[in-house]
Amino acid sequence: MQSMQQVVARARAAFNSGRSRPLEFRIQQLKALERMVQEKEKEILAALKADLNKCGHNAYSHEILGVLGELALTMEKLPSWAAPQPVKKNLLTMRDEAYIGYEPLGVVLVIGAWNYPFLLVMEPLIGAIVAGNAVVVKPSEVSENTARLVAELLPQYLDKDLYPVVTGGVPETTELLTQRFDHILYTGNTAVGKIVMAAAAKHLTPVTLELGGKSPCYIDKDCDLAVACRRITWGKYMNCGQTCIAPDYILCDPSIQSKVVENIKATLKEFYGEDVKSSPDYERIINKRHFQRVKSLLEGQKIAHGGETDEASCFIAPTILTDVSPESKVMEEEIFGPVLPIVTVKSVEEAIEFINLREKPLALYVFSNNKQLIKRVISETSSGGVTGNDVIMHFFLSTLPFGGVGHSGMGAYLGRYSFETFSHRRACLIKDLKMESTNKMRYPPGSQKKV
Amino acid sequence: NPYAGLVSHLRASWLSGKTRPMEYRVAQLEALGRFLDEKKQEILEATELDMGKPSFEAFFSEILLCKNELNVTLNNLCHWMKDEHVDKNLVMQLDSAFIRKDPYGVVLIIAPWNYPIHLFLVPLIGAIAAGNCAIIKPSEISKNTERLVAETLSCYLDTDCFAVVTGGVPETTRLLENKFDYIFFTGSPSVGRIVMTAAAKHLTPVTLELGGKNPCYVSDTCDVTNVAQRVVWGRFFNAGQTCIAPDYLLCTVEMQDKLMPALRAAITEFFGPNPRESPDFGRIVSDKHFRRIRALLGSGRVAIGGQTDEAERYIAPTVLADVLPSDPAMQEEIFGPILPIVVIANMDEAIDFINARPRPLAIYAFSCDSKVVNQVLERTSSGGFCGNDTLMHVTLTSLPFGGIGNSGLGKYHGKFTFDTFSHHRGCLHRNMGLETLNAPRYPPYTQQKLGLLTTTFEVKRRGTCTLL
């Protein structure tokens, strides 16, 4: 069993050899990843089913499709992204070459999460490879089947020294974090995010932290409630609520609360049938610990729908809570489960104030027919990203940066943003050794004329 | 927590939305311009008292370069603030997708003593332009400038939104206990670590502009006179107290011999036969730094200069020849008017030497052969790079200025400062209608739905990459 130090040292030596830099090499590795995803699709789907009871459709559309898309995009764009970018020159530099060069950072650490265990390891890995780095991959041990599969598969397809996979839990990750990396991308929760950043600080390592929070969802009185609730139901209960950008809670006027509940109920029936537990399309909570955590949030709450649980299978039914008090436990932490609290507010001002009193969330959702109202909510709040009149979807547009702000994270990635996150933008000015006369005015001795 | 009141006052101003309208930001930026114009004399005097900064240099770095940044920002602010619309995929053709530039909130700018106005003002320009409130913490070591800033900035900027905090290490430590929404720090790597560790407690994003030993490679094929002038200018500007100064020279023994008279000639041309009498040569900022730098004179042999005067904190423009990698001058960033020359056999050895050390803020390479310059550029890593000159790459506002590894993280200047202090928020504003288009994503799942999703979401390769 190798120590973390040895694994990282080997990756660093491999990076220093320079072989991860040529564009041809990067594309070759990305192509190998593409082959891996295509050839091992069955195994990947099976691991996701074992970890989260994710059905084939969800697993494919949420985790595999996105990865294939990112691979195609990065292979396509790499030459243009990696090209030096000439910049506007001033009078003094008119005859010089001035540009921004994109260079790899070195050895990147990617720490994945358990909720989209394949996606959240692959997307950062793709970004780090396309930028020319070596990458140490640490999948989440909580989603153990996917972790095991990633540890088996990556060495079969990728350069073993440049892209090692490290498995293990808290002690192993803590040891890993004592090593020096040139960038760390961590996906997970706020508390561990602080630990990662503190460890990174010792080496002055830049970090991208994709964290979480309570993503609010404001439903205006003036909106097509049936459509809004349909979209919200989809985003809230996919992956059994275990999505960092799921709408965490609803804010709406008391007068529409019961209509909201009715519409969500109807949609749930349409999606999962009468007996949710027997629907092949509904996932489970990842493990007993999280099951207990989410279940305890139901205590003392008014359950308008759902509430059934089964510990043996980590099943929690899609649940709606009404008239939730802002001080209750369910409103304190990110739910990360299929429980949807509704907090009533009398106006959009109250909703905005409510949101601003809390930590900045990863996503913010607002439903309204009134464009101005949507614009207002966006401009008077802060969040990682926003989708208006839908949920989740901003994640699927790779031309938008995906990341948090404040407690929901720092930095962004996906698409071109991954390339930029994992690259160093080096300012380059190449002058002529001749033409010294133009430099005379800056040299001492100083004079008014020179000034 | 002695600063809690101040921070919450600024936070309340921030929440009121005062700093967000463009007119407000422009007004504050214009006020900064008036500060530079009206207090020009005071700035030149304060920096002269602090480190004997020649007024020519002070005007160039503290006034002119700052005004450039101000004007670039004022000229482009409207454009920078606009929502940036992005390309959409098939599914989102009828939606609106854009990136908003949101301010972070209350930011902290910690500035060092060597360019005491420039290094708080240029970040502040970006912070204001991006719509934030800010606390400025100037360095206590440049105490005359600190006093000037503390006393006069409040006459120009809105004191509800911008405040100056003075003090030393204990005060800065207490200040860092508070939650900020961004911290911009310029200083040493060791303090950079402390700042980032404090920031981690609140998950505050940071930009750290640090330092290191900036190598300067001089190849055998070069115009010795021009090289000497450009290197002397860059090394002895501000008496060597510049984060991007060429810290040490790498060249062959033959080039060392050729360069020495040229370096001597350039120093004499710039500062006269006795630089101590030149109004164009600065002094060391403090007794502690004076003694630190003086101790480095024992490295190699003094080929030019070497004179010191403790009372004046004067150290002559000095060139040390035949310096060994183990010598004191090669163990730390010099930050003083001493240029060690380390002899190497050839370019490859120079590159290996550079790569064996922490990545610096800047790398310089001089050669008449552009291939040589490009080799050094391509085979090394640094914050920035300048071929055939020193310092100049940071005067171009369209180039990002920042470090890598030990020399820092993040970047600024020009639009990069505005971007540093903004949160780029991805926004997708969808159509409430056309719900049928969403059907393939909803359960119950079918093979047909999956097929539809795949077709609409998939990014297909348009053709083989021309490289393969």
Whether A2 shows a pLDDT value over 80: the answer reads no
Which listed residue (B66, B216, B222, B243) is catalytic? B243
A277 vs B: CB within 8 A: no
Res. B466 pLDDT band, cuts 50 70 90? very low
Give me the amino acid identity at A16.
N
- DSSP annotation string for A27-41: HHHHHHHHHHHHHTH
Tokens, residue A324: 């939730």
Q: Do A393 and B210 touch (CB under 8 A)?
A: no
Task: Classify residue B306: in a domain, yes or no.
Answer: yes
Q: Which of B48, B441, B464, B468 to mutate to test the interface with A (most CBs of A within 10 A)?
A: B441
Whether A169 shows a pLDDT value over 60: the answer reads yes
Residues 236-255 of A with CB under 8 A from B: none
Tell me if A4-211+408-429 shares its fold with A216-395: no
Contact (Cβ atoms closer than 8 angstroms) between residue B409 and residue B208? yes
Q: Do B270 and A204 touch (CB under 8 A)?
A: no
Whole-angstrom distance, CA of residue B396 vs CA of residue B413? 8
Measured in angstroms, the CA of B393 and the nearest CA of chain A are apart by 5
Tens of pLDDT, residue by residue over B169-211, are: 999 999 999 999 999 999 999 999 999 999 999 999 999 999 9
Whether B465 shows a pLDDT value over 60: the answer reads no
Measured in angstroms, the CA of A83 and the nearest CA of chain B are apart by 13
The residues of A that are catalytic are 210, 244
CATH class of the domain comprising A4-211+408-429: alpha beta
Contact (Cβ atoms closer than 8 angstroms) between residue A165 and residue A141? no
Q: Do A430 and B373 touch (CB under 8 A)?
A: yes
Comparing A51-55, A355-359, B463-467, the range with the smallest average pLDDT is B463-467
Longest dimension (CA), chain B: 88
In this predicted structure, what is the pLDDT of residue A438?
A: 78
Give me the amino acid identity at B204.
T
Contact (Cβ atoms closer than 8 angstroms) between residue A242 and residue A285? yes
Whether A390 shows a pLDDT value over 70: the answer reads yes
Whole-angstrom distance, CA of residue A336 vs CA of residue A212? 9
The verdict on B22 and B117 lying in the same domain is: yes
Whole-angstrom distance, CA of residue B121 vs CA of residue B162? 12
Measured in angstroms, the CA of A425 and the nearest CA of chain B are apart by 8
Please work out, in degrees rounded to the nearest 5, the angle formed at the alpha carbon of residue B29 by the alpha carbons of B83 and B56: 125
Tens of pLDDT, residue by residue over A210-236, are: 999 999 999 999 999 999 999 999 999
Kindly state the DSSP code that residue B64 receives in the 8-state scheme. Answer: I
Any idea what the CATH number is for the domain that residue B270 is in? 3.40.309.10
Task: Classify residue B455: in a domain, yes or no.
Answer: no
Q: Residue B389 sits in which domain range?
A: 215-403
The verdict on B291 and B368 lying in the same domain is: yes
Task: Give the residue with greater pLDDT, B179 vs A450.
Answer: B179
Whole-angstrom distance, CA of residue B441 vs CA of residue B439? 5
The verdict on B248 and B169 lying in the same domain is: no
A55 vs B: CB within 8 A: yes
Res. B461 pLDDT band, cuts 50 70 90? low
Helix%, strand%, coil% for chain A, nearest 5: 45, 15, 35
B243 noted as active-site residue:
yes
Strand, helix or coil for residue B114: coil
Task: Classify residue B179: in a domain, yes or no.
Answer: yes
> Could you tell me where the DSSP H helices lie in B334-387?
347-355, 370-379
In this predicted structure, what is the pLDDT of residue A320?
A: 98
ipTM of the predicted assembly exceeds 0.90: yes
**Which residues are paired to A100 by β-bridges?**
A85, A427
Task: Classify residue B42: in a domain, yes or no.
Answer: yes
**Which residues are paired to A365 by β-bridges?**
A217, A387
Q: Do A394 and B449 touch (CB under 8 A)?
A: no
Measured in angstroms, the CA of B326 and the nearest CA of chain A are apart by 24
In this predicted structure, what is the pLDDT of residue A434?
A: 81
Task: Classify residue B195: in a domain, yes or no.
Answer: yes
In this predicted structure, what is the pLDDT of residue A310?
A: 97
Supply the Cα-derived Rg of chain A in whole angstroms. Answer: 25
From the list B389, B432, B449, the residue facing A223 with the nearest CB is: B432
> Could you tell me where the DSSP H helices lie in A273-415?
288-296, 348-356, 371-379
The verdict on B376 and B227 lying in the same domain is: yes
The verdict on B133 and B158 lying in the same domain is: yes
The verdict on B223 and B205 lying in the same domain is: no
The verdict on B203 and B244 lying in the same domain is: no
Q: Could you tell me the fold of the domain covering A216-395? A: Aldehyde Dehydrogenase; Chain A, domain 2 (3.40.309)
Extract the runs of DSSP E, i.e. beta strands, from A105-182: 107-111, 134-138
Which listed residue (B209, B216, B333, B386) is catalytic? B209
Q: Do A439 and B230 touch (CB under 8 A)?
A: yes
What global pTM score does this model have? 0.96
Measured in angstroms, the CA of A283 and the nearest CA of chain B are apart by 12
Cα–Cα nearest to A351, from A331, A386, A381, A390:
A381
Q: Do A389 and B465 touch (CB under 8 A)?
A: no
Please work out, in degrees rounded to the nearest 5, the angle formed at the alpha carbon of residue B114 by the alpha carbons of B109 and B115: 65
CB-based burial label for A300 (10 Å; 0-12, 13-18, 19+): exposed
A92 vs B: CB within 8 A: yes
Res. A451 pLDDT band, cuts 50 70 90? low
In this predicted structure, what is the pLDDT of residue A147?
A: 98
Task: Classify residue B434: in a domain, yes or no.
Answer: no
**Which residues are paired to A118 by β-bridges?**
none
The verdict on B201 and B346 lying in the same domain is: no
The verdict on B160 and B255 lying in the same domain is: no
Whether B467 shows a pLDDT value over 60: the answer reads no
Q: Do A209 and B203 touch (CB under 8 A)?
A: yes
Task: Classify residue B238: in a domain, yes or no.
Answer: yes
From the list B189, B395, B404, the residue facing A424 with the nearest CB is: B404
Cα–Cα nearest to A138, from A118, A159, A168:
A168
Whole-angstrom distance, CA of residue A101 vs CA of residue A107? 19
Q: Which of A196, A204, A220, A237 to mutate to test the interface with B (most CBs of B within 10 A)?
A: A204
Q: Do B381 and A409 touch (CB under 8 A)?
A: no
Task: Classify residue B346: in a domain, yes or no.
Answer: yes
In this predicted structure, what is the pLDDT of residue B464?
A: 47
Q: Where are the domains of chain A?
A: 4-211+408-429, 216-395
Any idea what the CATH number is for the domain that residue B97 is in? 3.40.605.10
B424 vs A: CB within 8 A: yes
Task: Give the residue with greater pLDDT, B447 vs A374.
Answer: A374
Kindly state the DSSP code that residue A360 receives in the 8-state scheme. Answer: P
The verdict on B191 and B244 lying in the same domain is: no
From the list A92, A271, A427, the residue facing B443 with the nearest CB is: A271
Tens of pLDDT, residue by residue over A241-276, are: 999 999 999 999 999 999 999 999 999 999 999 999
Whole-angstrom distance, CA of residue A248 vs CA of residue A213? 8
Query: Which chain B residues touch A405 with a CB distance below 8 Å?
Result: 102, 104, 423, 425
Contact (Cβ atoms closer than 8 angstroms) between residue A448 and residue A157? no
φ, ψ for residue B409, nearest 5 deg: -145, 145
Tokens, residue A59: 């697993």
Q: How many folded domains does chain B comprise? A: 2
Whole-angstrom distance, CA of residue A189 vs CA of residue A408? 8
Instruction: Pick the residue from chain B with its C-alpha nearest to A449.
Output: B56
Whole-angstrom distance, CA of residue A320 vs CA of residue B412? 47
Whole-angstrom distance, CA of residue B366 vs CA of residue B344? 15
Instruction: Pick the residue from chain A with its C-alpha nearest to B406.
Output: A204
Contact (Cβ atoms closer than 8 angstroms) between residue A134 and residue A100? no
Find tokens 């089947």 and name the residue.
Answer: A145
B373 vs A: CB within 8 A: yes
Q: How many residues are given for chain A?
A: 451
Tens of pLDDT, residue by residue over B78-87, are: 999 999 999 9
In this predicted structure, what is the pLDDT of residue B453?
A: 83
